[in-house]
Amino acid sequence: MFKWFKNAGPGALVAAAFIGPGTVTVCTIAGVRFGYDLLWAMVLSTLATIALQEMAARLGIITRKGLSDVIRQEIKNPFIKYGIVALILFAIVIGNAVYEAGNISGGRLGLETLFSNSNSEMGRYLSLVIGAVAFVLLFIGNYKILERALVTLVILMSLAFLITSIITKPDLLAILRGMFVPSVNESNLLTIVGLIGTTVVPYNLFLHASLVKEKWKTQEDLHYAKKDTIVSVAFGGLVSMAIIISAASANISSVTSATDLAKGLEPLFGSFAKYFLSIGLFSAGITSAITAPLAAAYVANGCLGWDGDMKSFRFRMVWIFVLLLGVIFSSLGINPIEIIQFAQVANGAALPIIVGILLWIMNKASVLGKNRNTKFQNSVGIIIFIISIVLGLKSIIQVINSNKNMTYSIDINCDLGEGAGNDALLMPYLSSCNIACGGHAGNDDTMKETIRLALQHNVKIGAHPSFPDRENFGRTEMNLPNNELSTLIIAQIIRLKILTEEAGGKLNHVKPHGALYNMAAVNDSTAEAVIDAMAAFDKGLILYVPYGSVIAKKAIERNIQILYEAFADRNYNNDLTLVSRQLSNAVMNDSGDVLAHVVSMVKEKKVKTVDGDLVKIEAGTICVHGDNPHAVEIVSHLSQNLKGVNISIE
């Protein structure tokens, strides 16, 4: 390992570049949804990457030029030349600037998971720290220092994922079957495209051809470059497969980001799994945060015919632009949808064009002499070219149809069994319900009837415990000792759980009520009491919590499964607290306003506050208060109209 580390070339940077946060997320999703079945796609994309990167490396060593330099010089037709150069510049330079935000956010996620930090202000500072680290490494401008830094991070990342995949004790026969028996169907096709697309990266071809000449000088060094490419890319592919294996072995029911992988492993392997995954996420983010600006600068240099090295003013201005834009987007939470869509279209069009031009150049004796492609290399290249055309077309089609076809899903819940008298009218429109279990309202008879209605309409059943405060409907704050409060909550949950199971159902979640919910959102002691109560039950029981709350942070720390909740019929303050019910604008009653409110929270992840500001929020479930006089009208309106804006109720 030490000898390889000492002699490692730019292949390590290629591996570092394609193992970014996007790869971590796609591989995690592939493992969770399809188990080991898509390992073959990772094997295929790794082999394709090795073949293409070997060509790029050979071109760089023999010509002593970058790929963009050769393209600019070899294409003689001005119209075609400038058209292709413009496409490459926009697809890679502008595209990398936008995607850099995702790279930095990925590194930040690793640190936040490591320190269990959900504070948005701290997240902004972490983005600045990661950007500063990337800036220093790039500004040094010394290839060997940069190379060693990247190799170190790749090794850290690799060890994190490889160790995690081993400790999950995977089924070896199933892994071998997944690696060598292709499985393609309508449900997994887009994931396959994603796995290949996240590994065969266009800008890596430019990066490799530009950097390889810094490491090796003569054609006698070609075999070193080939070995470096094979070992490094294969190692990167192995890491990607390790992520898939880890996710498939962790028994995670769903995933919305790569951090869910760490949550899924903690019950089995303790806190160490979280640290392994955190290091992996951080390394994946920061390596890509370095290579994306670097590749963009090399591409701009070659396409525009600039002279100079990594320390030249224009070279630095390009990567500083890419890095700065990424830091800004990541720090401010800006989501430049239109630019991202343009970058996806341009990259989709650029991939087959770049692969086709690379194959054409690799067969020119005037450029490579006796080192041009063999028949076997051309055969492999043509197969990859065809695949790249399919990927390119799918990328373009997907973006063109994104607004029309992109779908979202949300859970709609109501607090029921509280005596409002409208439970039977509300239930057909819900996907989950929170049943009062004796604290602020409800008794055995009301619980049994609400459970019956929920089972009749296939609605998920949750407990709705509260302070023992029937007189004030659980909306008055109470300061109880933690052990007493936990015992009261446990008793309420157990009672509903027993009645649910007697009726043939299963308890799905817990949502605190009223003052208990609001206090747990901001008060450490109350949040701990609720978490202690949850810890007494099966780990599969979900806790509904508000986004960015104290209880959400503590639940994550204690490995309690959570679902972020937002309110359809309540107005928010800028700090994401609900407007006090003592104010006239606390509750929203107009169905049209509620619909717009929900659409913004689900699709844009933004909520418009009473001050008119848009504040970031996340929600997996939306609550409509059952005691709202307009509750039936609101849930009916949501049910009828959400589908029209591509939001399904699940």
- Domains defined for the chain, CATH in brackets: 2-405 (1.20.1740.10), 408-649 (3.20.20.370)
Hunting for tokens 């799905």 — which residue is that? Answer: 508
What does residue 298 show for φ and ψ, rounded to 5 degrees?
Answer: -65, -40
Q: Report the pLDDT value the prediction gives residue 446, as an integer from 0 to 100.
A: 96
646 close to 406: Cβ distance less than 8 angstroms: yes
Q: Are strands 614-616 and 606-608 parallel, antiparallel or unpaired?
A: antiparallel
- Taking the CA atoms of residue 514, residue 519, residue 520 and residue 523 in that order, the dihedral angle to the nearest 10 degrees is 180
- Which DSSP string corresponds to 144-170? HHHHHHHHHHHHHHHHHHHHHHHHT--
What's residue 147's pLDDT?
57
Q: Two tokens at 222?
A: 């070609």
CA distances from 641 to 6, 103, 203, 242, 626 (A): 61, 36, 42, 42, 20
Please report the pLDDT score of residue 337 as a whole number: 46
Q: How far apart are CA 61 and CA 222, in angstroms?
A: 7
Q: What is the pLDDT of residue 451?
A: 97
DSSP 152-215: HHHHHHHHHHHHHHHHT---HHHHHHHHHS----TTTHHHHHHHHHHHS-HHHHHHHHHHHHHH
CA distance 95 to 85: 14
Q: What is the pTM for the complete model shown? A: 0.64
* Residue-level pLDDT at 252: 58
Per-residue pLDDT, 348:
59
Residue type, 153: L
Write out the two tokens for 406.
């992109």
Residue type at 138? L
Secondary structure percentages of the chain, helix, strand, coil, to 5: 65, 10, 25
pLDDT of residue 526: 96
Tell me which residue of 191, 207, 245 sits closest to 45, measured CA to CA.
Answer: 191
* Consecutive 10-residue averages of pLDDT for the chain (650 residues): 57 77 78 89 93 94 90 89 86 78 75 59 72 84 63 70 76 91 77 79 86 83 91 90 82 54 54 67 77 86 81 90 86 55 56 88 92 94 88 67 70 94 94 96 96 97 96 93 95 96 96 95 95 87 94 88 94 91 90 94 92 92 91 94 88
Packing angle between helix 524-535 and helix 514-522, nearest 10 degrees? Answer: 110
3-state secondary structure 7-33: HCCCHHHHHHHHCCHHHHHHHHHHHHH
Helix pair 95-115, 120-140: axis angle to 10 deg? 120
Q: Is 421 in a helix, a strand, or coil?
A: coil
Give the pLDDT score at 167: 75
